[in-house]
Chains A and B, each alone.
Chain A
Amino acid sequence: MATAHSRTAARLMLSPAVLLLLLWMIVPLGMTLYFSFLRYNLLMPGMETFVGFDNYYYFVNQPAFWSALSNTLVLVLGVLCITVIGGILLALLLDQPFWGQGIVRVLVIAPFFVMPTVSALVWKNMFMNPVNGMFAHAAKALGLQPFDFLSHAPLASIILIVAWQWLPFATLILLTALQSLDREQQEAAEMDGAGWFQRFIYLTVPHLTRSITVVILIQTIFLLSVFAEILVTTNGGPGTASTNLTYLVYAQSLLNYDVGGGSAGGIIAVILANIVAIFLMRMIGKNLEA
């Protein structure tokens, strides 16, 4: 990719794919944008009128909007914290030689293959249910009052469920990074008098930054649009305690039949996601440069 010639060739060959992707993205985006300026109610088909920015005004000025916004951020940050820290710890553990390593590694990856709806239902009914759930049984066995996770700590419960799903992803990426850690560097540090913890701080963590960046960037994209887990567990409730932006858009368009308002919410979500992306790239994107 060094000469001007090869660069032109590369662009030319990339262009069909880029064009296709652009179309793929631009059509739904254009339609959403168009709907967001209409008064479009599913109960009154064929009566759409152009209303300017009204949909945006009403979407932002409903009380649920701000709580949805903060819920979205808490959800993303919470899951990121748990998966990155938990992922590093698990990866360190799995990197040690122990008996049955292969099987344990496969087991650790397993949650990633479970569909979000299924895993959320399993968590809801088998673990967090205040009557039949495992946690309730455990609490009763210890003589404690069972805790109703999904009604008393709905957002925290959803964070837990989503983090459980994403932990394998983070672990896997961080484990491969750990395995590429140079052994001679470790030995050199050992001879230089660095203990286990110092080697971790001065060698392992810098070595992992690139992978941590990848984990954060990829996960953020998906976590901004968590939906299935909320739908099957709390339905955004109680009240709006576990409603994120995605769920609010769904509620607006399909529960309130207000497609115009929902589209406006969708556009706002896109803008917010872009702000987050720019922010992230500014902050940690330089870690990706070789």
Chain B
Amino acid sequence: MGKITLTQVRKSFGEVDVIPGIDLTIDEGEFVVFVGPSGCGKSTLLRLIAGLEDTSGGVISIDGMDATDLPPAKRRLAMVFQSYALYPHMSVRKNIAFPLKMAGMDAAEQEKRVNHAARILNLGNYLDRRPGQLSGGQRQRVAIGRAIVREPAAFLFDEPLSNLDAALRVSMRQEISELHQTLKTTMIYVTHDQVEAMTMADKIVVLNAGRIEQVGSPMELYRNPANLFVAGFIGSPKMNLIEGPEAARHNATTIGIRPEHIDIGGDGPWQGVVGLSEHLGSDTFLKVNAGPLGTLTVRASGEVDIHHGDSIRMTPQVGKLLRFGADGKALK
């Protein structure tokens, strides 16, 4: 239950090809995250899977059945929207029970399922309130509650945490991950926040301009990005990309090294002047002006006594240097 396959799925709005053709398999019980810059077609792809947009071509199948032309209600998918999309005139209880009521379920069974969802999501005290009387985090939970009672084949989330403050975002992120471990239902989660993608996903799908750049587990993407786009997109702070003679020395057009893979001190081959140093306590991020190499970001762990204007030497860690060819693809 919950295997979704896309075959050459296309979508265009008028003249504009938003999604030129995507092949993707989402396995049963997987937590898949679509990540990519704003406007790359993440929401559109999710809405195609949900059935809220018609495809311009290709086949979407859910659990082996062709669902391309099924209306949204028949696909057994539940969606959590960015704006929560709760029904403002109904109490929390009625909101959560709405899909059950539409399915014609009897009142006792509805009650049972709503109470079960309320228990999982800690909503017991709010069941008789209106959505307008809840905080952002509580509304989010109600929206998730409304999705779980249907026991769908898969959950679709479209940037569900982007309206929450930073602290709440972290805790909701963990709640959703825990929910996935409890329910073991397929989840597709759209975000442009690569930290969410890294922490939650079993499988990350990196999208760029409607195309899939790479699919893989978070660590795979971190260790072996397939191309420059993924290399620059995954990881925080961003990977340093160096061109010119230094790259040529490694037989590549571009070389990439993550800030955490550069060691400071000793008699390293690279030399630069510290421009900006950000001391976070646990880490220190340095922006180093390294002459012909450009500006490098370097992470030193812990409290480091390096400040603006200091001259330092740096060594890239062996085996962590990534090489990219002229076409932007990674070289093996």
- Decide whether A and B assemble into one complex: yes
Residues A190 and B83 in contact, CB atoms below 8 Å apart: no
Specify which chain A residues have a CB less than 8 angstroms from the CB of B90 in the assembled complex: 202
Task: Report the Cα distance A189→B102, complex, angstroms.
Answer: 9
Query: Is A188's CB under 8 angstroms from B79's CB?
Result: yes
* A188 to B160 Cα, complex, angstroms: 14
Could you say which of A191, A202, A206 contacts B73, with CB atoms under 8 Å apart?
A191
Residues of A within 8 A of B79 (CB): 187-188, 191
Say if the beta carbon of B146 comes within 8 Å of chain A.
Answer: yes
Q: Which chain A residues lie closer than 8 Å to B146 at the CB level?
A: 188, 192
Partner of A182, one of B50, B71, B83, B103: B83
Q: Is the CB of B89 within 8 A of A189?
A: no
Closest residue to A182 on the B side, CB-wise?
B85
Output the least CB separation between A93 and chain B (Å). 23
Complex interface: chain B residues within 8 A of A206 (CB): 88-89
- Considering the complex, give the chain B residue whose CB is closest to the CB of A185: B85
B211 interface residue per 8 A CB criterion: no
The 0/1 profile, CB within 8 Å of A marked 1, for residues 96-109 of chain B is 00110011000000
A192–B52 CB distance below 8 A: no
Task: Tell whether A191 pairs with B77 under 8 Å between CB atoms, given A184-B85, A206-B89.
Answer: yes
A97 at the interface (CB under 8 A from B): no
Contact B99 A192 (CB under 8 A): yes
Contact, CB under 8 Å: A193 / B103: yes
**Among the listed A185, A190, A194, which residue makes an inter-chain contact with B52, where contact means beta carbons less than 8 Å apart?**
A190
B residues 41-64 in Cβ contact with A at 8 Å: 50-52
A198 interfacial by beta-carbon distance below 8 Å: yes
Residues on B with C-beta less than 8 A from A184 are 81-83, 85
B72 within 8 A of A: yes
Contact A190 B81 (CB under 8 A): no
Contact residues in A for B285 (Cβ distance below 8 Å): none
Known A202-B98, A203-B87, A207-B89; judge A192-B81 contact (CB<8 A).
no
Smallest CB separation, B291 vs chain A (Å): 51
Q: How far is the CA of A190 from the CA of B102 in the complex (A)?
A: 10
Instruction: Determine the chain A residues whose CB is within 8 A of the CB of B51 once the complex forms.
Output: 191
Distance in angstroms from B46 CB to nearest chain A CB is 12
B81 engages A187 (CB within 8 Å): yes
Report which of B77, B82, B98, B150 forms a contact with A189, defined as CB distance below 8 A.
B98
Closest CB of chain A to B107's CB: distance in Å?
A: 16
Give Cα A206 to B130, complex, Å.
13
Residue-by-residue, is A177-217 near B (CB-CB < 8 Å gives 1, otherwise 0)?
00000101101111111100010001100110000000000
Shortest distance from the beta carbon of B4 to any chain A beta carbon, whole Å: 15
Complex partner residue of B87 from A187, A190, A202, CB under 8 angstroms: A202
Are B52 and A191 neighbours in the complex by a CB distance under 8 Å? yes
**Are A191 and B72 in contact (CB-based, < 8 A)?**
yes
A189 to B79, CA, bound (A): 10
Nearest neighbor of B75 in chain A, beta-carbon distance:
A191
Give Cα A206 to B88, complex, Å. Answer: 9
- Complex alpha-carbon distance, A192 and B94, angstroms: 13
Nearest to A184 among chain B residues (CB) is: B85
16 A–B contacts, CB within 8 A, in A order: A182-B85, A184-B83, A187-B52, A189-B98, A190-B72, A190-B73, A191-B50, A191-B51, A191-B73, A191-B77, A192-B73, A192-B150, A193-B99, A194-B102, A203-B89, A206-B89
Closest 4 CB pairs of A and B: A206-B89, A192-B99, A188-B85, A184-B85
Question: Besides A190-B73, A191-B51, A191-B78, 15 other CB < 8 A contacts?
Answer: A182-B83, A184-B81, A187-B85, A188-B79, A188-B81, A188-B87, A189-B98, A190-B72, A191-B52, A191-B79, A193-B99, A194-B73, A194-B102, A203-B87, A207-B88
